[in-house]
């Protein structure tokens, strides 16, 4: 059972546009991670957020953890074709990481 719902499931945008991906849950997590996965490869960690309300920036990517530590968002500014991939959020609870349903992003040159 997936505890984390991501939206949208699919996103196709033009190069240079902005976008936001959402990760929502009814559960509280001790931390939340965002990964990007390319075809034929495993997910690669982008960022970990720990504190409710925390905002982290990674170049053109901005990650926010909800105040109640139940949800998170990923905002990409001026998307590039190299941003194409499957974006996954993962919430930490106990000794497990629960992965979201995934958002498949395609950036068209």
Partner 1 sequence: GAGVSQTPSNKVTEKGKYVELRCDPISGHTALYWYRQSLGQGPEFLIYFQGTGAADDSGLPNDRFFAVRPEGSVSTLKIQRTERGDSAVYLCASSLTSGTDSPLHFGNGTRLTVT
Interface residue list for partner 1 (CB under 8 A):
2, 4, 6, 9, 30-31, 33, 40-45, 48, 86, 88, 90, 92-102, 104
Minimum Å gap between C-beta 23 and partner 1 is 10
Query: Do 52 and 65 form a contact (C-beta atoms < 8 A)?
Result: yes
- Please report how close the Cβ of residue 69 comes to partner 1 at its closest, in angstroms: 13
Q: Closer to partner 1 at the Cβ: 26 or 95?
A: 95
Task: Single out the residue of 92, 93, 71, 83 nearest to residue 6, CA to CA.
Answer: 71
Q: Which is nearer to partner 1, 66 or 102 (CB)?
A: 102
Q: Which is nearer to partner 1, 78 or 104 (CB)?
A: 104
- What is the nearest approach in angstroms of partner 1 to the Cβ of residue 10? 8
Buried b (16+ CB within 10 A) or exposed e, 51-87: eeebeeeeeebbbbbbeebbbbbbbbeebeeebbbbb
């Amino acid at each position: 059972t997936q505890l984390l719902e991501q939206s949208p499931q699919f996103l196709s945008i033009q190069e240079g546009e902005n976008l936001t991906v959402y990760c929502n849950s009814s559960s509280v997590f001790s931390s939340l991670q965002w990964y990007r996965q390319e075809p034929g490869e495993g997910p690669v960690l982008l960022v970990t957020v720990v504190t409710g309300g925390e905002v982290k920036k990674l170049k053109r990517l901005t990650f926010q953890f909800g105040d109640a530590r139940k949800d998170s968002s990923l905002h990409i500014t001026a998307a590039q074709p190299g941003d194409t991939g499957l974006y996954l959020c993962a919430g930490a609870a106990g000794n497990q990481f629960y992965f979201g349903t995934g958002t498949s992003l395609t950036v068209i040159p």
